Structure 1
Amino acid sequence: MRWSQTIFAVLVALSLVLCSGGNAWASSNEQLKWIEGGRKVDLGKVAEVDLDPSLLFLDAANTAKVSELNHDKPSGKEIGSIFPKDENQNWEVVFEYYELGHIKDDEKEDIDADAILDSYKEGTEESNKEKAESDRLYVTGWDVEPFYNEATHNLTWSMLAEDGKKEKLINYNVRLLTRQGYISAILVSDPAHLDADKKFLNEKILPKLTVKSGERYEEFDASTDKISEYGLTGLILGGAGLAVAKKAGLLLLLAGLFKKFGILIFAAGAGVLGVIGKFFVKLFRRKKSEAAQDETNDREHTETLP
């Protein structure tokens, strides 16, 4: 099934849900079991969200199905996803959980945003030398510089970039530290509506997310719990470290690792927006030949962070 057909199938599924309030299916016969808002829902075994009535929820299995409908390989770490009921809103929040050990936050006062940005820029420039202009990526700056909220144990950042056609690209990432790892919250939006969607995420979703007892960051037990090898800077760089990021480059990370690192890319004004503007925007810009390369790169980077 072609990508556009898959998206259309998901659109049909959502429209049926909105009209009937029940389960719906896409033309590919993939069932998506939507959960209506106005109740608490589990994010795997690690957390729960008190879901606003204006929202819809998919559990881990159904979140993975959406990835499959989009011809994207599920990470296997999905714990749920949230969507607006309002068809005029174009966003999605995907949650994943990674148990990598307790992540120390002792870098909270020393996150060097300039060094991190320079690292990505240098790596990208190096990788661009081997790419056609249409395949190049240019990191232009921060939308939101990395910052850590000690009260909530949340690490947040948003990077700006553009492709060879000068189309703007953006991502928005939140990492919620837990006792033995972190929850990744990825906001899927488009640049034109990102500010409003960030506001909704930070005011209506994240404050209602509760890490379950026994999994909370402050419940860390030094006598029994593993310490992660990654710090806050490592999470931003995907666990690769500054030196490796400079060598590998952001374009290399794009080949399969953007999804793993929680860095989702969206193009403003692309023609696809007009096709799926009634639902959510998740642009997969890679060609089939690039998808094959993704699998190779994934195997080469199995030890890096998602």
Structure 2
Amino acid sequence: MQVNVLTVALLLLSGYAQAQLLDTEAYDEAEVVDPYQEWADSVAQTLTFYADTTLTIGDGLADLAIPPGYTFVYPDDAYTVLVDLWGNMPEMGDASLGMLFPAQYGPANPAGYGINISYTEEGYVSDDDAADYDYDELLEQLQEDTEAGNAYREEQGYQAMHLLGWAATPHYDQTNKRLHWAKRLQFEGMPVETLNYNILFLGRRGYLTFNVIGGMQDLPEVDAKLDDMLASLTYTTGNRYADFDASTDNIAAYGIAALIGAKVLAKTGLLATIGIFLLKAWKLIAIAVVAAGAGLKKFLGR
């Protein structure tokens, strides 16, 4: 039986746990919260962070100049963050090429956010018709598709998800072959909106993705750092979009619109937004779980 961490935690906020929370003398907040922050900090201390340097990622696929004010961890440590610390599915951790974090926060700070880096190798994506898309019409279609998929998500034990609108309208940079957009999402039962910000870098055989995992409150900082993020990644020679060879290379069966649509929705880490929400809501959930005599780490482990 699959245990839904968020549902369990929210249920625990009712009844006995909620009554205890209202009694400020029943629990010492520091005693309740500190063990979980200590655990998160202990996980973060096992990670190796890099800053102010240029690294090669993806077995020579691209060079990453770590943006100013960010730190980077390699795939093994990214797996630890995504799966062990944030409670995401192992498949997401397995696919990560590394993660970026604002240096002032790091992965264990509920005030921060993360940027997961992944690569999809499904062929050269033609951008010939990039200017022809009506993104308002595309948004309406995505909203319909999202609602239609909620029954399946709930059957699998996940919250229903609602696409509220664009947080940043899709923009394609024809010169640099970069596509970025952001969605405003609301997960059922979550009191805050989720930010799903994607930056795609088209390459010869596929595309690299920067997926910002955070909340809508992180959007102003992401926007302020966007130019640095866009300039941070460069494909190595032989892997660039311009290196495409029509006589030997595969061509993707979809175009620019599909990169924004449902095909990529399953590939760019939406489940990770649940993990970052749990991280940001530790104080709320941890108090409820402890009040019921259980441990948050145990629940996250499930």
Which of 50, 55, 66 aligns to 1:41? It is 55
User: Aligned to 2:63, what secondary structure does the other structure show?
Assistant: strand
Report the CA distance shift for 1:12/1:122 in structure 2 as closer, same or farther (over 3 A): same
The structural deviation recorded for 1:109 is 0.3
Corresponding residue number in structure 1 for 2:96: 78
Which of 203, 228, 232 aligns to 1:208? It is 232
Report the CA distance shift for 1:112/1:6 in structure 2 as closer, same or farther (over 3 A): farther
Gaps of 5+ in 1: 15-23, 26-31, 241-252, 277-287, 293-306
Structure of higher RCO (CA pairs closer than 8 Å, 6+ residues apart): 2
Report the CA distance shift for 1:160/1:52 in structure 2 as closer, same or farther (over 3 A): closer
User: How far apart are the structure 1 equivalents of 2:74 and 2:229?
Assistant: 16
Root-mean-square deviation (Å): 3.5
Instruction: Give CA deviations for 1:20-64 in whole Å, capped at 9, x if unaligned.
Output: xxxx32xxxxxx2322x1211122221112224633211122212
Any conservation in 1 of the 2:168–2:182 contact (CA below 8 Å)? yes
Q: After superposition, where does 1:1-306 map in structure 2 within 5 Å? A: 9-14=39-44, 24-25=45-46, 32-35=47-50, 37-44=51-58, 45-52=60-67, 54-69=69-84, 70-72=86-88, 73-75=90-92, 76-87=94-105, 90-127=112-149, 135-165=159-189, 167-200=192-225, 202-239=226-263, 257=266, 260-263=267-270, 266=273, 273=280, 275=282
Report the CA distance shift for 1:164/1:149 in structure 2 as closer, same or farther (over 3 A): same
User: Aligned to 1:189, what secondary structure does the other structure show?
Assistant: strand
Tell me the TM-score normalised to structure 1 length.
0.68
The structural deviation recorded for 1:102 is 0.7
Any conservation in 1 of the 2:102–2:113 contact (CA below 8 Å)? yes
User: Aligned to 2:165, what secondary structure does the other structure show?
Assistant: strand
User: How far apart are the structure 1 equivalents of 2:254 and 2:76?
Assistant: 28
User: How far apart are the structure 2 equivalents of 1:122 and 1:94?
Assistant: 27
Tell me the TM-score normalised to structure 2 length.
0.68
Instruction: Give CA deviations for 1:167-194 in whole Å, capped at 9, x if unaligned.
Output: 4232101111001100011112221121
User: How far apart are the structure 2 equivalents of 1:78 and 1:39?
Assistant: 20
Any conservation in 1 of the 2:99–2:117 contact (CA below 8 Å)? yes
Report the CA distance shift for 1:80/1:6 in structure 2 as closer, same or farther (over 3 A): farther
User: How far apart are the structure 1 equivalents of 2:208 and 2:216?
Assistant: 24
Report the CA distance shift for 1:169/1:84 in structure 2 as closer, same or farther (over 3 A): closer
Q: State percent identity of aligned pairs.
A: 24
Instruction: Give CA deviations for 1:216-270 in whole Å, capped at 9, x if unaligned.
Output: 0011111111111121111112438xxxxxxxxxxxx7xxx3xx23435758xx7
Corresponding residue number in structure 2 for 1:29: none
Any conservation in 1 of the 2:198–2:268 contact (CA below 8 Å)? no
Amino acid at match of 1:261: T
How many corresponding residue pairs? Answer: 243
Any conservation in 1 of the 2:53–2:65 contact (CA below 8 Å)? yes
Gaps of 5+ in 2: 7-32, 284-297
User: How far apart are the structure 2 equivalents of 1:96 and 1:7?
Assistant: 28
Of Structure 1 and Structure 2, the greater helix share is in 2
Q: Which structure has the larger Rg over C-alpha atoms?
A: 2
Report the CA distance shift for 1:33/1:150 in structure 2 as closer, same or farther (over 3 A): same
